[in-house]
Structure 1
């Protein structure tokens, strides 16, 4: 009987030992981990804050030699270097379109709140007549972590040398296009 008891105790011990080894070797599913790689591509983006600049309302010309000007700004969001061009057609020229089709000397200027180092922006484009404005595109340099540039468009009106324009309301539409 002693021998039988010893065999039973030995068998129980062996079963417990095997069970413990199996339990230790098996992974605990509550602590199992898996990884996932996540990727995304950000395309080059150029986006104006609004569809249009606010109206650039130039003060009245009250004397033959007046050259009034006015400006408006619009934010351009970008994550890349880009060029800005302008419309150089008569659409950008100030014309009295109701009765006479008379024209004014129409000039534009472009400025940025940054110069490309250390802020996104570019060099000021000085006054040029509508048909010469941005014939060479204005380069805007993007600076990492500065994804916006304030673009200021100025317009100036005057009478042509030796002339006086007809009385009336003169209008023009200048279009700036940003491309990368």
Structure 2
């Protein structure tokens, strides 16, 4: 008899659950659209570095050096390349000065965003191998320091004048 009571209960319970479920109102549904943009940040704090004035070269002072800096904001590892064209060489008419560049950062890439300093290189070899800026998630900015050095071998009346150059640094994502 207990067996038949058990079988009867099994048949009745699912049927009563279906009947009760059928009498309830439909569930209320609400949806939410979610958006998220992952932005790539590689931007300079300004479009131009501050101008470097190396002063005057003369018989007593045949070499001059100077530097300027600009902040680079990034949220990932980037590389920096340089312009190696003649526009990066200090020139005046058909005359040119020995022009060298160096790149340094306020961070080394260990514990803060940055890179190791480069060696002094002539304008046409500067950053042929790009400088790698290693990003630290706790530090989204690095101060990039551009240094320039000019030298003149001989000074005579024909090569005196104001020498100018434009160096362009380009930062982009490391691939």
TM-score interval (norm. to shorter):
0.7 to 0.9
Equivalent position SS for 1:91: helix
Secondary structure of 2:127 counterpart: coil
Q: Aligned partners of 1:154 and 1:143: how far apart in 2?
A: 24
CA contact (8 A) 1:65 1:159 kept: no
Structure 2: unaligned runs, 5 residues or longer: 1-24
Unpaired segments ≥5 residues, structure 1: 1-25, 27-31
- Trace 1:108-119 onto structure 2 (pairs within 5 A): 108-119=101-112
- Aligned counterpart for 2:74 among listed residues 72, 78, 84: 78
Q: Which residue of 1 aligns with 2:119?
A: 126
Specify the alignment match of 1:156 in structure 2. Answer: 149
2:31, 2:116 → 1: CA distance?
A: 48
Aligned residues: 146
In structure 1, what is the Cα distance between the partners aligned to 2:122 and 2:86? 11
TM superposition score normalised by structure 2: 0.76
* Alignment partner of 1:88 is 2:84: yes
Conserved in 1, the CA contact under 8 Å of 2:58 and 2:155? no
**CA radius of gyration, larger in:** 1
Partner of 2:133: 140
RMSD over equivalenced CA pairs, Å: 2.0
In 2, Cα distance between equivalents of 1:139 and 1:109: 14
Which digits, 9 at most, give the CA deviation of each residue in 1:127-150, with x for residues without a partner? 111001001000000100211000
Deviates more, 1:63-72 or 1:40-49: 63-72
